[in-house]
Structure 1
Amino acid sequence: MTTLYRCITEDDTSRFCHRVSEALSLGWSLHGSPTMAWDPVKAVMRMGQAITKEVEAEYHPDMKLGQQ
């Protein structure tokens, strides 16, 4: 078994929530609490959420994590 790790980032909009919800529906698990930070360049709040997933495949740097 291999544990995969991703960090989803997005502006603080419903799109962020949908991206995290989609990952959860595909078997990913939340890893820690979400984070938020002010982006002064774009003048928006940015969100981040780490997620993990256990897979049977052996890890390789070319893996498309969003497709696992």
Structure 2
Amino acid sequence: MIDQPPDGLPRYRVLTGPDDETFCRRVSEALGLGFHLYGGPALTFNGERVIVAQALVWPSNAEE
């Protein structure tokens, strides 16, 4: 396991956006890099569409 996320990314990230294929691909890409989901998604409605937020964390050595 790599100690730090790739490309200088932070250990904790929150991805946000419309609940669509693009957002799902962004989360899937982060999972593919090695991030783990942190809790469940948060959803809201902006009057036009559903907006979702998902927190992700880079696993620490203690989690291995």
Flag whether TM exceeds 0.5 (same fold).
Answer: yes
Greater fraction of residues in helix = 2
Structure 1: gaps spanning 5 or more residues: 56-68
The residue correspondences of 1:34-49 to structure 2 (distance < 5 A) are 34-40=41-47, 43-49=48-54
The residue correspondences of 1:1-68 to structure 2 (distance < 5 A) are 4-40=11-47, 43-54=48-59
Contact 2:36 2:59 in 1 (8 A): no
Structure 2: gaps spanning 5 or more residues: 5-9
**Divergent runs of 4+, >2 A:** none
TM normalised by structure 2 equals: 0.73
> What is the match of residue 61 of structure 1?
none
Greater fraction of residues in strand = 1
TM normalised by structure 1 equals: 0.69
